[in-house]
Amino acid sequence: MTRAAPSPAPEAPGAGPPPPLAAGPLLGVAAAAFALHLAALTRYGWFRDELYYAASTSRLDWGYVDHPPLSIAVLALVRAVGGDGLAPIRLAAALAGAATVFLTGALARRLGGGAFAQALAALGVALAPVVLGVSHIYSMNALDLVLWAAALLALLGAMERGTTGRWAALGVVLGVGLLNKISVLWLGAGIAAALLATPHRRALATPGPWLAALVAAALFAPYVAWNAAHGWPTLEFMANARQHKMTTLEPARFLLDQVLHMNPAAAPVWLVGLAAGLAGRVGAGGRAFAVVWLATLAILLASGSARASYLAPAYAGLWAAGAVALERATARRGRAALVTAVALAGLAAAPLALPLLPVEAFVRFQRALGLAPRTEERHAMGALPQHYADMHGWEEMVALVAEAHARLSPEERARCRVFGQNYGEAGAVDVLGRRLGLPRAISGHNSYWLWGPGAGEPEAIIAIGGDREGNARFFEEIEIVGRTASPWSMPYERGLDVWIGRRPKVSLREAWPALRRYI
């Protein structure tokens, strides 16, 4: 391996040679986190985005309106091996969560942490409510946590060794991360800021960091090319989400949510990690991790609209740095108290992130804590927070669509479409309606619009939602089939009428451009 000029620096990424990997404790914490997910695996139903992702696996491409291709390709493999049910994809998400736990402990080791520091870092991330919630649902976000932690490990290797191979490895991880979620650009910006903020800025005079950027860009290029070929739909999606979907970010609320989402009892760990990292008490690596977190925070605050969970992947380095600093500063008795507090508080809050309780019991639990569902989007909330509400009502809705389909004549069924107002409704028809013999759904929402209205003109359309007056503008004859009535779903998915529209007044293909809704 050729060596670029190493980054001469007075401080190493960690504090001397790393201690042995505490494989037993790390695997134990990761296994415990995985077991917690097993307890809640399919207690509720499919989540809205999971239905959309699953529907996307039959339309593999180099990109989608609202995300890059990697998570869909991985899901296609999971479904090919494990089947089309909900359990296999939830297991994949839980495995990603367990991997995040293990890698966070490994980060603590690379910063000089012994067995206690490694286990504490792993425990902190394992029981952080936001990590539990993200790792329960299959999406690009579960993979994002793993890839950020892996990138931070690769960054330590590049800072320590300085070889072109280590920098290239960092570029590979960043590039793969970008193919999963474009917010890895924030990580790239944070790494650039971290290099400038440490003596490792001298590496910028060598080919290594530039090679990393080039490799990452090359891996990301197919998604950029896909966007260019389709008229830059992702940029339109992002602009619409900022303008019409997301609420205005309140900095004080955003920062308070960081404490809540990361387990209030564990706040001393990552806050110490931030302070010790900036002070250089856990080496240049700890400082780099603190700068990455601050840079990501600054980007999110400057955006004016962001979910509090967007910062979650940047915490892996702070958990590691804080655990190392606390290992050095605390006696054994203090360590036991800290671990107990983190574990008990994390387990007590777990039902807020994982569906461990039946719905009615969860509602009582939520009320007992004085909590009420709130959102960072512009819509009303029901009794459940959205990450639970969006797991309800899909089976009932698809059953109504199947009833509508059964009312059609054989000729109409042969030339029928099912129209969903959003990708959740359309995805539910595609995933859950398959066994009922339903045709593929169409929608104007995000990638469904790009997938088009299908070949030929329909004889009949089964429409989910809308009212009689609105549907009568498009069909000579309309018939109401029934109304959705799930009490736990999102308010805008409750009380939806399912219609049959016959003898369309306008061509679906001609109307299609006006139906586009990227948001």
The yes-or-no verdict on residue 169 having pLDDT over 70 is yes
Which among 292, 321, 352 is the end of a domain? Answer: 352
Same domain, 190 and 286: yes
Alpha carbon distance 297, 314 (integer Å): 9
Note whether residue 345 is domain-resident.
Answer: yes
Alpha carbon distance 88, 83 (integer Å): 7
Note whether residue 388 is domain-resident.
Answer: no
> CB within 8 A of 258, min separation 6: which ones?
308, 311
Residue from 92, 173, 86, 176 nearest 134 by CA: 92
Answering whether pTM is above 0.85, one says yes
Same domain, 427 and 338: no
The two beta strands, 475-483 and 460-464, are unpaired
Same domain, 298 and 215: yes
Same domain, 442 and 309: no
Note whether residue 216 is domain-resident.
Answer: yes
Alpha carbon distance 308, 297 (integer Å): 10
pLDDT (0 to 100) of residue 14:
65
Note whether residue 5 is domain-resident.
Answer: no
- Any idea which of 39-48, 146-155, 240-249 has the lowest mean pLDDT? 240-249
Alpha carbon distance 459, 416 (integer Å): 6
| Structural domains in the chain (count) | 2
pLDDT (0 to 100) of residue 12:
62
Cβ proximity of 272 and 278 under 8 Å: no
**Residue 467 belongs to domain spanning:** 394-515
Same domain, 328 and 454: no
Which among 352, 368, 386 is the end of a domain? Answer: 352
Note whether residue 383 is domain-resident.
Answer: no
DSSP secondary structure of 339-399: HHHHHHHHHHHGGGTS--S-HHHHHHHHHHTT-----SBSS---SS-HHHHTTSSHHHHHH
pLDDT (0 to 100) of residue 10:
38
Alpha carbon distance 285, 132 (integer Å): 26
Same domain, 336 and 460: no
Alpha carbon distance 501, 466 (integer Å): 11
pLDDT (0 to 100) of residue 1:
40
Per-chain mean pLDDT for the chain:
95
Same domain, 298 and 424: no
pLDDT in tens, 418-429: 999 999 999 999
> CB within 8 A of 394, min separation 6: which ones?
45, 46, 51, 424, 428, 432
Same domain, 212 and 143: yes
Same domain, 345 and 456: no
Which among 352, 384, 402 is the end of a domain? Answer: 352
Note whether residue 363 is domain-resident.
Answer: no
pLDDT (0 to 100) of residue 16:
66
- Residue pointed to by tokens 């910062």: 311
In 247-315, which residue ranges form alpha helices assigned H by DSSP? 251-261, 267-279, 283-303
Same domain, 293 and 213: yes
Average pLDDT over residues 214-220: 99
Cβ proximity of 334 and 328 under 8 Å: no
Alpha carbon distance 397, 463 (integer Å): 11
Alpha carbon distance 225, 187 (integer Å): 22
Q: Provide φ and ψ at 183, rounded to 5°.
A: -65, -10
Same domain, 119 and 236: yes
For 348, 360, 471, 476, 482, the CA distances from 41, given in Å and listed in that order, are 18, 18, 39, 46, 31
Note whether residue 272 is domain-resident.
Answer: yes
- Residue pointed to by tokens 């009312």: 407
Q: Where does residue 10 rank: exposed (0-12), middle (13-18), buried (19+ CB within 10 A)?
A: exposed
Note whether residue 255 is domain-resident.
Answer: yes
Alpha carbon distance 457, 34 (integer Å): 48
Same domain, 477 and 338: no
